[in-house]
Amino acid sequence: MITVNRSVGLPRDDPFAADSLPPGYSYLVDDETHCVIEPALLWLCHQYPPARSMWRPTTVANAAYDLCDWWRYLAHAGKAWDTADERDLVAYRDSMLHAVSPRTCEPYDLRSIRRRMGTVVSLYRWAAENGYYSGGFLDQQEIRKVVRPIDADPLAHTSPSVRACRLSRVLPPSTRSADDHVRPLSSKEWALVSHALGPLPSELQTGGRPSRDRLGAEISLWTGLRVDEIAGLTINQVRDLTPDPMEPHAALRLRVVRTKGLRPRWVLIPTHLVLELRRYIDGERAECIAVGRRHGLRANPESLFVNGNASRHDAGKPIRAETLSRAFTAAVRTAGLTRSVTKTDPETGALYQSAEAAHTFHDARHTFAAWMYHAERAGGNAEPWKIVQARLGHRQLATTLNTYLRVVDDYRTEVNLNVYRFLREKFGN
């Protein structure tokens, strides 16, 4: 059996410490022979150099588990890694397309399949370039003519819209009905979820529930930022804003640097939310850092949101996006908002029903998009899609349309008129 292990590191005074893997670095081991899978380790070290600031434990672990699954598949098929070819990769793909994830008990998501296969292809390309592999090259690409969306080409009027693109012959398509996974919250649902998340700092009572998780969701709801973008906000980004307490509904421009695709953009954030964030910085956040200091916290965190007092030894450290996501999902369940999902037992194949949270943190971003669309429509803008695109930070208008075109019409009757009237007045152009 192939498993994923993590290095423990050597003491600094050990003569081999400089050449050892850092603590927490993932690698593959054959449990029967107790030998490290060297090709996988060499590729991991090439892809994610085990030097300071050049790798992340989660990223390396994800890649290691992708390779582990591939090695297990090869072992089941009775093939050595260096004799595999494209036919094996296709068979591996088909096995996942017809399998059930043991973690979710649902069919594997296409994105997960593409990621796993992409990791495998990257390994073999590297191995071929370095002389470790000489078999049939995996995932040959072919050139196809595709029509490029006009909004994706600023010089569309001077050049043909048909482009030659290199496309994979074996990876499953990434296109899927994205709007099936877009579930904006109604104003009633948001009221329930926000109450379950906790109070705002201005509502916080002494010794009461923390407000961090509520603030994170509020930011997404009013700006459309993704959860990882919110987790990446810094304290100085808020301090640099100059809110006027006399104009609580005015909008301020916040520059976000840590975004998807690393493309900085501006978002509009209401003054009343900035004031709440400043209360959090001066109150709850400062208390969390003080607790962290008592448990050995030395660095002065730049992150806006930090771990709470309950984290003890991790109190005051920068928060992870997963923490905000889990808190939001828990609040949705507490609010009684669930949906029935059909799942499959991976061992017996039996179907069963499971009550899952009806919304995820990302649905706050979807809610912002739907509210913004209707706010613009109510303000007389017959085609508000470009504004929605800009607010969400989509590079192409087609991405916005493909995601929200059907949803906004279905959602119209659920939108609170007072909410998007407020958005139209304060965030409209």
Asked whether residue 97 is domain-assigned, the answer is: yes
Residue 306 has pLDDT above 80, yes or no: yes
How many domains, the chain?
A: 3
* From 124-128, 330-334, 351-355, the region with the lowest mean pLDDT: 351-355
Q: 238 to each of 204, 247, 288, 332, how far by Cα in Å?
A: 20, 17, 18, 28
> Residue 287 maps to which CATH number?
1.10.443.10
User: Is residue 259 predicted with pLDDT exceeding 80?
Assistant: no
**Is pLDDT above 70 for 146?**
no
pLDDT at 155 over 50: no
**pLDDT beyond 90 at 288:** yes
> Do residue 277 and residue 395 come from a single domain?
no
**pLDDT at position 375, please?**
80
Domain that holds residue 413: 340-427
Is residue 128 over pLDDT 70?
yes
Of 350-354, 389-393, 418-422, least confident by mean pLDDT is: 418-422
Residues 8 and 112 in one domain: yes
Alpha helices in 130-270 (DSSP H): 187-197, 212-223, 227-231, 235-239
Tokens coding 319:
């928060």
216 and 306 share one domain = yes
Same domain, 324 and 361: no
Task: Give the mean pLDDT of 7-34.
Answer: 83
N-term to C-term CA, the chain: 60
> What are 372-396's pLDDT values in tens digits?
888 887 778 778 888 888 888 887 8
**Region of poorest pLDDT, from 13-17, 216-220, 372-376:** 13-17
Single-letter amino acid code for the residue at 157: H
Do 350 and 242 share a domain, yes or no?
A: no
Q: Are 207 and 338 in contact (CB under 8 A)?
A: no
Q: Are residues 372 and 247 in the same domain?
A: no
pLDDT given for residue 422 in this prediction: 59
269 found inside a domain: yes
The pLDDT of residue 143 is above 50: no
Q: How far apart are CA 72 and CA 40, in angstroms?
A: 13
Pair (65, 115) in one structural domain: yes
Residues 22 and 44: beta-carbon distance below 8 Å? no
pLDDT at 75: 92
Confidence check: pLDDT of 424 > 50: yes
- β-partners of residue 165 are 144
Q: Quick one: 98 and 195 in the same domain?
A: no
Q: Tell whether 74 and 40 lie within a shared domain.
A: yes
Question: Would 7 be classed as within a structural domain?
Answer: yes
Last residue of a domain, one of 336, 363, 387: 336
Q: What is the mean pLDDT of residues 165-175?
A: 62
